[in-house]
Amino acid sequence: VSTAGVATFAGRDLREEPLGRHPPPHVDEGYLLTKWAGELFLERVAAASEGLLAATVHRTAALVGPGAPELDIVSSVVRYSLAVGAVPTLEGYGGRIQFVPVEEVARAMVDASLGAEAAAGGIRYRNHCSADAHLTVDLSDLGTYCKRSLGQTGSLPVLGDDEWIEKAEAAGFPPLLGDLISGRTRLVARERLLGCYSEPRRGQERHVKLE
């Protein structure tokens, strides 16, 4: 399981295609580099098996919904913003995020593992993105997205990051993520500038879009 953030390596809209054998020198975030290494490893193993091994790389946008990973920073910020009734400023962050329901991604992964393609050798790439325009959100409108997820209009109030983190951690927000938001631990900044869209091109393939 990879991430939409790997589009950073391509520096362009990323099709369901290999990333390339060498990461660009401007990308030094460890998290993204591990995903690049994982994709390349599967690519090489599949090639070495000469068609005997089937592998699928799943690149996901920001997961939301029941069952979304607790340490996924985007989904956790949304979850705890709803819990405390406010969103953080997210100072120093910018760009757009596209959300995708975790159950939709899980279903697609299961289908891919059980489908006819799974019986064929080689490696495949799947970009898990939502075609729903309402799930593509500018970070400055995160409060509006949170209200809309409740079926309400308007926007949640905005708190300074430190105040929001204090309230969110009291409600159960993981301290590690609080450190990431506040800058006490380095965060993968470029990934938060990435979106993912599923505009059909060349059949049903999807693209990870670099914002």
* Reduced 3-state DSSP string for 48-105: HCCCCCEEEEEEECEEECCCCCCCCHHHHHHHHHHHHCCEECCCCCCCEEEEEEHHHH
Task: Give the least confident one: 2-16, 99-113, 146-160.
Answer: 2-16
pLDDT in tens, 7-30: 777 766 677 888 877 766 666 667
The reported pLDDT for the residue numbered 200 is: 38
Number of domains in the chain: 1
Cα of first residue to Cα of last residue in the chain, in angstroms, is 22
Work out whether the CA dihedral 146, 152, 157, 162 comes out positive or negative. negative
User: What is the reported pTM?
Assistant: 0.70
Q: How confident is the model at residue 86 (pLDDT cuts 50, 70, 90)?
A: very high
The total of other beta-carbon atoms located within 10 Å of residue 136's CB is 20
Please give the Cα distance from 22 to 17 (Å, whole number): 14
Residue 109's domain spans which residues? 2-210
| Phi, psi (deg, nearest 5) at residue 29 | -75, 125
Find all residues with CB under 8 Å of 74, minimum gap 6, and list them. 62, 63, 64, 97, 99, 192
pLDDT above 70 covers a percentage of the chain that reads 78
The answer for 39, left when phi > 0, alpha when psi is -120 to 50, beta otherwise, is alpha
- 96 and 139 in contact (C-beta within 8 Å)? yes
Taking the CA of residue 96 as centre, how many other CA atoms within 13 Å lie in the half-sphere pointing to its CB? 14
More confident residue, 175 or 31: 175
> Pick the residue with more confidence: 93 or 44?
44
C-beta atoms surrounding 66 within 10 Å: 8
Higher pLDDT, residue 26 or 203: 26
